Structure 1
Amino acid sequence: MNQIKTVVLLALLSALLISISYWVIGGTWGAVIGVALAAATNLGSWFYSDRIALSAYNAQPVSYEQAPGLHNMVQQLCDRGNLPMPGIYIIPTQSANAFATGRDPQHAAVAVTEGILELLPEDELEGVIAHELTHIKNRDTLTQAVAATVGGAISALANFATYAMWFRGSGSDRGPNPLGLLLTVILAPIAATVIQLAISRTREFSADAGAAKLTGNPRGLAQALQRLDSNARQLPMGANPAFEPLLIMHGFSGQMMSNLFSTHPSTEARIQALLKLEQQMSV
């Protein structure tokens, strides 16, 4: 059922991309270009989702010699979860965050920031890594990367539509539709975000639960989320907002990110779910 929901939501994103292209470019050619753009975006993100996401956050590969403790932690969790060892990357920023990416467990990567390595004690960092490995095991990483890439294309077209409203040609039936351009500028980013929310939010709860079971320590991840939430308010992680759903913690500060348009469930709700799971596991 979850896979069917994902396919439907990704199809909606692609349809939105095609519609925007039709409105921005105008006429049949606009629709054709939209179909080609949607196909290229989906296929490109399928095969290169790991490179796209890692590049978006300037993540750098790290060898065993450079970070033996991190490599050993990931390897032990992979052994417990029956997963192949992913690539290990470090993001050069003091913001505390992490994400996983890749089209399948055989082509996956886990990236952590320098900040999270300094902020979290070992048991809490283990919970974060287990969360990301659960995303890989559930194949959430591909879905999130495709949604982020298509969402980024929609945002780019919406920005282009802003300029098209000023420079569109006059007196041509094949030109951009003025009403379509206006709707694109106003509604397209909101629609893309809402669709991404439907993909992202439930998967975060599922990955939290999977991490708790993998480590046997729900409270460790709960404490980590509390620290990460506090850190995000002080040191927001700057990057393309389209890729924010990949992160374990929303990357931007402010009350807006804790309301309806956040790509993540509230930290309080995630912590409560983990503490409830701890009670169930202790029975």
Structure 2
Amino acid sequence: MNQFKTVALLGLLSALLITICYWVIGGTTGALIGVALAAVTNLGSWYYSDQIALAAYGAQPVSYDQAPDLHNMVQQLSERAGLPMPAIYIVPSAGANAFATGRDPEHAAVAVTQGIMNILPEDELEAVIAHELSHINNRDTLTQAVAATVAGAISFLAQIASYSLWFAGGSRDDGDGPNPLGVLLTVMLAPVAATVVQLAISRTREFAADAGSAKLTGNPRALARALQRLHSNARQMPITGNPAFEPLLIMNAFSGQFLGNLFSTHPSTEARIENLLKLEQQLP
């Protein structure tokens, strides 16, 4: 059921992209361009999802000699989870965060920021990495990367549409020109609609990855403590990058209050901690 829901939501994102092209470019030509753009975006993000996400946050590959403790930790957790060893990257940012990406476990990567390595003790960092490996194991990384790429394309088209409002010409009498009302709706609503679809894809997957981390480490409280630290750090020092890829991060980087909760790609930190403490009671 969860997979069906995800496919339906990704299809909705693609349909939104096609509709925007129809409104902004106009007519059959616009619709065909939208279909082609949706196909290229989905296929491109499937094959290059790891490179796109890593580049969005400036992640750099790190060798065993550069970070032996980190490599050993990831290796041990991967073996415990029955996963291939992912590539390891470090994001040169003081903001504390982490993410996983890749189209499947055989082409996966785990990235951590320099900030998260500085502030988390070993058991909490282990719990965070276990969370990211759970995303890989659940195939969340591909879904989130595709959704982020399509949503990014929608936001880009909305920007282009906003410029076209200033230079609009011609009419729709022949059915082939831009639709002024459609262009206006694109500018106003398309980025919000894309964000809402991303929220529906992302939020339930975070709870599942938290539970996967708890089972993998046997220490739900370590992840609960880590989330509390990361929440405080994100408010003071949010990681910078393309906001379309924020669903990949373990902690939402938006530091606002009301709007931050309303458009957060993650469940609230309080809800995640509460759920982890309930899981702790169920473990032997």
What is the DSSP-based 3-state SS (H/G/I as helix, E as strand, rest coil) of the residue aligned with 2:100?
strand
**SS, match of residue 238 in structure 1:** coil
Q: How far 1:130 moved relative to its partner?
A: 0.2
1:15 matched to which residue of 2? 15
Distance 1:26 1:84 in 2: 47
Q: Secondary structure at the match of 2:262?
A: coil
Could you tell me how far 1:177 is from its partner in structure 2? 0.4
Aligned 1:117-132 pairs, distance under 5 A: 117-132=117-132
Change (3 A) 1:5 1:66: same
For residues 260 and 201 of structure 2, the distance between their equivalents in structure 1, rounded to whole angstroms, comes to 17
- The answer to whether the Cα contact below 8 Å between 1:151 and 1:242 also exists between their aligned partners in 2 is yes
Name the TM-score, length of structure 2 as normaliser. 0.98
Shift of residue 240 of structure 1? 1.1
Instruction: Kindly indicate whether residue 31 of structure 2 is the aligned counterpart of residue 48 of structure 1.
Output: no
Show the counterpart of 2:135.
Answer: 135
Query: Quick one: distance in 2 between partners of 1:171 and 1:22?
Result: 14
Deviation at 1:2, TM superposition (A): 1.1
Letter in 1 for 2:66: Q
Residue of structure 2 equivalent to 1:67: 67
1:281 corresponds in structure 2 to 283
Equivalence map 1:1-283=2 (5 Å): 1-173=1-173, 174-256=176-258, 258-282=260-284
Displacement after TM superposition at 1:254 (Å): 1.1
Deviation per residue, 1:90-131 (Å, 9 max, x gap): 000000000000000000000000000001000000000000
Q: CA contact under 8 A between 1:236 and 1:251: conserved in structure 2?
A: yes
Unaligned runs of 5+ in 1: none
Give the match's secondary structure for 2:165. Answer: helix
SS at match of 1:264: coil
Determine the C-alpha separation between the residues in 1 that align with 2:121 and 2:144: 28
Alpha-carbon distance between aligned partners in 2 of 1:139 and 1:91, rounded to the nearest angstrom: 22
Distance, in Å, in 1 between the alignment partners of 2:260 and 2:49 is 27
Contact 1:256 1:262 (8 Å CA) reproduced:
no
Letter in 2 for 1:107: H
Supply the distance in 2 between the matched residues of 1:237 and 1:67 (Cα, whole angstroms).
Answer: 21
Residues of 2 paired with 1:54 and 1:66: CA distance? Answer: 19
Runs (4+) of structure 1 exceeding 3 A deviation are: none
Q: 1:171 deviation in Å?
A: 3.3
One-letter code of the match for 1:210? G
How many residues get paired?
A: 282
User: What is the percentage of aligned positions where both structures have the same residue?
Assistant: 77
Q: Which runs of 5+ in 2 are unaligned?
A: none
> What is the alpha-carbon distance in structure 2 between the residues aligned to residue 170 and residue 42 of structure 1?
32
Question: How far 1:261 moved relative to its partner?
Answer: 1.3
- Which secondary structure does the structure 1 equivalent of 2:130 belong to? helix
SS for the counterpart of 2:5 is helix
TM-score (norm 1): 0.98
